[in-house]
Amino acid sequence: MKLTIVNPYWDLYQQVKTLQKESEPKILQQILTELSSVSHLSLLDRSAIRFLIRFRLYLNRLLEEKFFVRLREEYAYSAPSPKLLQLIAEHSPLVEMGAGNGYLASVLRGMGADIVAVDAFPVEEGQNWFFNTNVFGLPTKKGSSWTTVIKGNAASLEEYPDRVLLLCWPPKNAMAVESLTHFKGRQIILIANKSCCADAEFYDILDKNWHLQLEVKTDSWAMCHTEVMEIYSRDADS
């Protein structure tokens, strides 16, 4: 029996990709209208996108960048494909640190995966600088999580030694390193654009104490970022 994956973010991303290729004006307008509504694009953004489409300049990634900046606020920084989600779900039970608004955890739970979502700043508190911000990029209390997200920091990971740690676009600060310090489990799944996720110390620790089992280049916002999913297992002597 084929598993049905409810993943609206991926569906929207496919529409963005269609927008890049479509030449029929009526279809272009229909897609743009729908995407503009969902993405809450400003009049300036919509005008810029129409200009890019009209003069076929979107191949330089600007069109995709416009939608990435808007959609990541409501969904996630990674737009996971069904294939990627299936691979992650196969490693259940999971614990996601830095779960943000819980979108990824929500989709995985819908697939039947056992996942605990943790974030230091659940969006409902109005202190999250990455999701549901206002026009000035400041946190608001207007957002709500897609699923239950437990409030906690990296130290909370010590409670979940029997789970696989999931890190999706960890910020370029100490959070990722602290997660490695406190996590006592044996496997890690990392989804990241390494040029702007986590810090050098984090990758040094992975190289020294963890073994790379699998690396997959994702198809998420591919014109904006080089995103990979990597699965690591802890070295026996670490």
Q: What is the pLDDT of residues 145-168, one digit of tens each?
A: 999 999 999 999 999 999 999 999
Both 109 and 44 in one domain: the answer is no
Token pair of 26, please? 């009526």
Contact 68, 221 (CB under 8 A): yes
Least confident segment among 20-34, 91-105, 116-130: 20-34
25-39 and 62-74 helices, crossing angle to 10°: 40
In a domain, 194, yes or no: yes
In a domain, 47, yes or no: yes
Contact 158, 184 (CB under 8 A): yes
Both 52 and 13 in one domain: the answer is yes
Both 160 and 56 in one domain: the answer is no
Both 117 and 180 in one domain: the answer is yes
Least confident segment among 41-45, 66-70, 102-106, 193-197: 41-45
Both 54 and 124 in one domain: the answer is no
| Reported confidence tier of residue 32, pLDDT bands at 50, 70, 90 | confident
In a domain, 1, yes or no: no
Both 63 and 94 in one domain: the answer is no
Q: Look at the block and give the residue holding tokens 């990674």.
A: 78
At position 158, the amino acid (one-letter code) is E
pLDDT in tens, 73-87: 889 999 999 999 999
In a domain, 2, yes or no: no
In a domain, 25, yes or no: yes
Number of domains, the chain: 2
Range of the domain at 62: 8-74
Both 36 and 86 in one domain: the answer is no
Global pTM value: 0.89
* C-alpha–C-alpha distance, residues 88 and 81, integer Å: 11
